[in-house]
């Protein structure tokens, strides 16, 4: 039965996330944008609240909500993937930089939730985990990872440099992607949980960024870092046919989350522009044709339409995950559309409001800066298009590069 409304049972979680967005995040939004690299202490308490929600089974409020459950046949489920993405939208509407700085809600936590076995989940599930893939010589091309992991008895020894690690300084553990044998390409790349404080594991520096300044972005050095063999997430065997399965499985689950962040930022900008324009006497009339209303109203309508498209594509990807349907294609569509829409909507809302919105009195200029990362990390716009196109056209990564 086709219905694209949010079920009532998810209303409390959404309401809670809204309260966090408006009551906790918005009031400190500008402060931590200005004071980059200052740890937002207010978030420690919030992280504890989110943990409490998870423990109470109200779940799906955080990154751990992406763990997949086997679907019951014939029964439509609205589960943790949907509720998680809804909550992410709401808190990102508050401030996406602060959301990325939320303890224990890192993408590393999503990776652990997605691919860890039960024993690993027990060991690492409570840690704030960052995700480290990118290296100075490899961005979107993850197969070019040069960080190595060498088996030595019951341990792996890791060596390399990771950059652009979100929450890399403040986290308690990092999911480090390293190659068991760089000569074997993608198949040999595996994720390892490396806890902070492990000898040889250091933070080299922090980035100064265009936006999401509340979130720390670190360069990490691994110099003969030893971890137990059981810190490898997933299958330790190098199988050519199952190449990269772990990375991909993680991304299938986390792309809708990032899309949800983009949807949240887009809505923040759209609502603010709508409010400000209403104060100036311009409101959208949904029944009137675009040419029968002010140009600013027609522009808002156009932006809201793209927002709606991104919002629904994101919900679809999450809904499919809840119902055990493969959603790699749909997750990439959501990420591609939401990423470009957030940037476009924020920039155009700023321009609609004008020079007032370019200044720091309002948050529009901040959202316009924050939004851009959402079209870059967790797979750029171009990477999403490659994934979508390869799937539609039946092409391999060797054919369509």
Site map 380..399 versus another protein, x via CB under 8 A: --x-xxx-xxx-xxxx---x
Measured from the CB of residue 18, what is the shortest distance to another protein in angstroms? 18
What are the φ and ψ backbone dihedral angles of 398, each rounded to 5 degrees? -80, -35
Largest CA distance in the chain: 74
Report 161-220 residues binding another protein (CB under 8 A): none
| Distance (Å, whole) CA 196 – CA 169 | 9
Pick 216 or 304: Cβ nearer another protein: 304
Pick 120 or 309: Cβ nearer another protein: 309
How far from the centroid of its chain's Cα atoms is residue 272's Cα?
Answer: 23
Pick 56 or 393: Cβ nearer another protein: 393
Measured from the CB of residue 72, what is the shortest distance to another protein in angstroms? 14
Site map 311..350 versus another protein, x via CB under 8 A: -xx-xx--x----------x--x--xx-------------
Report 40-59 residues binding another protein (CB under 8 A): none
Catalytic residue among 75, 161, 378, 399: 378
Pick 266 or 310: Cβ nearer another protein: 310
| Distance (Å, whole) CA 240 – CA 243 | 5
| 130, 244 contact by CB (below 8 A) | no
Measured from the CB of residue 318, what is the shortest distance to another protein in angstroms? 9
What are the φ and ψ backbone dihedral angles of 166, each rounded to 5 degrees? -65, 130
CB neighbourhood size of 330 (10 A): 23
Measured from the CB of residue 158, what is the shortest distance to another protein in angstroms? 34
Q: How many CA atoms lie within 13 A of 58 on its CB side?
A: 17
Helix (H) or strand (E) holding 110: helix 107-115
Report 252-291 residues binding another protein (CB under 8 A): 284, 286-291
How far from the centroid of its chain's Cα atoms is residue 187's Cα?
Answer: 24
Pick 49 or 400: Cβ nearer another protein: 400
| 85, 315 contact by CB (below 8 A) | yes
Cα–Cα separations (whole angstroms), residue 131 to 62, 146, 194, 223, 251? 16, 16, 10, 18, 11
Query: Does residue 161 have an active-site annotation?
Result: no
Report 60-89 residues binding another protein (CB under 8 A): 76, 78, 82
- By annotation, the residues acting in catalysis are 378
Contact residues: another protein, CB under 8 A: 1-9, 76, 78, 82, 284, 286-292, 301-302, 304-306, 308-310, 312-313, 315-316, 319, 330, 333, 336-337, 382, 384-386, 388-390, 392-395, 399-401
């Amino acid at each position: 039965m086709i219905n694209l409304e949010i079920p009532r049972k998810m209303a409390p979680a959404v309401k809670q996330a809204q309260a966090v967005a408006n009551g906790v995040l918005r009031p400190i939004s500008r402060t931590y944008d200005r004071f980059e690299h200052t740890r937002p202490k207010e978030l420690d308490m919030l992280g504890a609240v989110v943990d409490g929600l998870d423990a109470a089974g109200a779940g799906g409020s955080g990154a751990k909500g992406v763990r997949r459950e086997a679907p019951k046949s014939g029964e439509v489920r609205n589960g943790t993937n949907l509720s998680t993405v809804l909550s992410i939208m709401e808190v990102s509407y508050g401030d996406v930089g602060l959301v990325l700085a939320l303890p224990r809600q890192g993408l590393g936590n999503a990776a652990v939730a997605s691919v860890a076995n039960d024993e690993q989940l027990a060991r690492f599930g409570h840690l704030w985990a960052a995700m480290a893939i990118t290296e100075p010589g490899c961005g979107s091309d993850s197969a070019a990872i040069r960080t190595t992991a060498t088996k030595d008895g019951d341990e792996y020894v890791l060596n390399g440099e990771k950059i652009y690690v979100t929450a890399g300084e403040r986290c308690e553990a990092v999911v480090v992607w390293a190659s068991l044998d760089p000569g074997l390409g993608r198949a040999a790349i595996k994720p390892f949980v490396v806890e902070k404080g492990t000898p040889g594991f250091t933070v080299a520096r922090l980035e100064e960024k265009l936006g999401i300044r509340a979130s720390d972005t670190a360069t990490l050095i691994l110099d003969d870092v030893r971890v137990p063999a059981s810190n490898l997430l997933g299958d330790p065997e190098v199988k050519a046919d199952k190449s990269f399965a772990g990375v991909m499985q993680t991304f299938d689950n986390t792309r809708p989350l990032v899309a949800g962040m983009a949807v949240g930022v887009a809505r923040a900008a759209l609502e603010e522009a709508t409010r400000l324009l209403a104060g100036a006497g311009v409101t959208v009339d949904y029944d009137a044709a675009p040419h029968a209303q002010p140009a600013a109203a027609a522009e808002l309508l156009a932006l809201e339409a793209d927002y709606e498209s991104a919002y629904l594509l994101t919900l679809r990807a999450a809904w499919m995950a809840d119902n055990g349907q493969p959603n790699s294609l749909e997750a990439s569509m959501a990420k591609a559309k939401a990423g470009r829409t957030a940037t476009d909507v924020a920039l155009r809302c700023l321009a609609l409001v004008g020079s007032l919105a370019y200044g720091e009195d309002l948050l529009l200029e901040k959202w316009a800066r924050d939004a851009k990362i959402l079209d870059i990390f967790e797979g750029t716009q171009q990477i999403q298009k490659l994934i979508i196109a390869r799937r539609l056209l039946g092409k391999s990564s060797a054919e369509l590069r």
